[in-house]
């Protein structure tokens, strides 16, 4: 098969496909429009998130047999139309779930122990011990929204702590030795920590809003390593001000571009007043001492970079076998 690689990935991906007899085409510099012009030439396409694969794109690719996304979610692809056209879809949540689990735990422990705030103050010559007194994770209830690859990985990381791990998921009967499944009533009553592990779709869009936050019986800590658009930032900021949320660790932001590669549009990826007016909610969030922000890197470790590539290559080869070059 002739496979277009629209984004750069770990070299293992192309190496494994080449060894299996498939032909790789590097299209990293091609615009979406340029790719569309030649899409009839390709049997498969490998993407991250640089551009969307919509109905127009799929219609321009009569020979397309698969779309592979080197990541966990498929929100950049018109999944229904692709499946209607018989196109196989691949993603790789197995490739970065461990990384996401570790990042989530790191954010939570940093928040509990005020590490970012304390570090900044000491570097500025301040030695404020009482103001940086931490709290312990032991004895808390950690509540996960979504129990797929990422939620399960985080629950596994929590096994070493004396915590009660519960989760809510629309799928029934998926509890394991690391967490127990509960209904919303128990979820809202017991949560001390809420961690989000759901995809972004119509059902989850802006699900963390004022109404949702108001249902919890006590203040809680919030972690989001899923998708930024699942959260209404203005409502989150208000809850932080009011003490309904005690602190937040956010690897993703509502204002991210769909490629996940940038927050602002200028080449240096910093805010420019004229081109990128910073939303007021984001501006406030940036200066809150009880928040930790990272640039969508929870699943983007050195190890996961390679593992994501391996998982995608293995799935393509398992489905389509050896290419013509290998058979020769």
Among candidate residues 256, 290, 305, 310, the one labeled active-site is 256
Is 296 a known active-site residue?
A: yes
22 given a catalytic annotation: no
> Residue 185 and residue 129: Cα distance in Å, rounded?
38
| Alpha helix positions (H), the chain | 11-19, 32-38, 55-59, 79-84, 93-112, 115-123, 149-157, 184-190, 210-213, 233-242, 280-286, 302-320, 324-327
- Out of 48, 102, 227, 254, pick the active-site residue: 227
32 an active-site residue? no
* DSSP per-residue letters across 251-297: SS-TT--TTSS-SSSSTT----TTT-PPPHHHHHHHT-TTEEE-SS-
**142 alpha carbon, distance to own chain's centre:** 19
Instruction: Determine what percent of the chain falls in helix, strand and coil, rounding each to the nearest 5.
Output: 40, 15, 45
SS3 132: helix
d(CA 21, CA 317): 10
Contact 94, 116 (CB under 8 A): no
Backbone angles phi, psi at 240, to 5 degrees: -65, -40
Q: HSE-up of 315 (CA within 13 Å, CB side)?
A: 21
Residues marked as catalytic: 227, 256, 296
């Amino acid at each position: 098969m002739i496979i277009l690689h629209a984004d750069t990935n770990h070299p293992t991906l192309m190496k494994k496909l080449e060894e299996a007899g498939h032909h790789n085409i590097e299209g990293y510099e091609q615009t979406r429009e340029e790719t569309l012009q030649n899409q009839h030439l390709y049997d498969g396409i490998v993407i991250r998130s640089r551009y969307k694969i919509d109905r127009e794109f799929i219609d321009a690719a009569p020979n397309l047999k698969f779309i592979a996304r080197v990541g966990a979610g498929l929100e950049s692809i018109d999944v229904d139309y692709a499946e209607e056209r018989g196109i196989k879809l691949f993603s790789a949540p197995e490739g970065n779930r461990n990384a996401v689990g570790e990042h989530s735990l790191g954010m939570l422990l940093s928040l509990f122990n005020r590490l970012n705030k304390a570090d900044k103050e000491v570097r500025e010559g301040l030695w404020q011990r009482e103001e940086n007194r931490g709290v312990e994770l032991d004895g808390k209830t950690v509540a996960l929204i979504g129990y797929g690859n990422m939620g399960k990985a985080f629950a596994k990381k929590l096994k070493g702590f004396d915590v009660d791990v519960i989760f809510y998921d629309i799928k029934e009967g998926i509890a394991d030795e690391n967490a127990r499944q509960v209904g919303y009533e128990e979820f809202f009553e017991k949560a001390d920590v809420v961690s989000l592990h759901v995809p972004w779709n119509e059902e989850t869009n802006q699900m963390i809003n004022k109404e949702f936050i108001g249902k919890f019986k006590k203040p809680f800590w919030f972690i989001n390593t899923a998708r930024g658009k699942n959260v209404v930032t203005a409502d989150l900021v208000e809850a932080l001000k009011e003490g309904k949320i005690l602190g937040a660790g956010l690897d993703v932001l509502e204002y991210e571009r769909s490629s996940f590669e940038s927050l602002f549009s200028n080449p240096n990826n910093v805010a420019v007043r004229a081109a990128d007016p910073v939303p007021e909610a984001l501006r406030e969030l940036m200066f809150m001492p009880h928040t930790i922000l990272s640039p969508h890197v929870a699943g983007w470790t050195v190890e996961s970079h390679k593992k994501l590539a391996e998982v995608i290559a293995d799935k393509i080869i398992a489905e389509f076998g050896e290419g013509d070059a290998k058979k020769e």
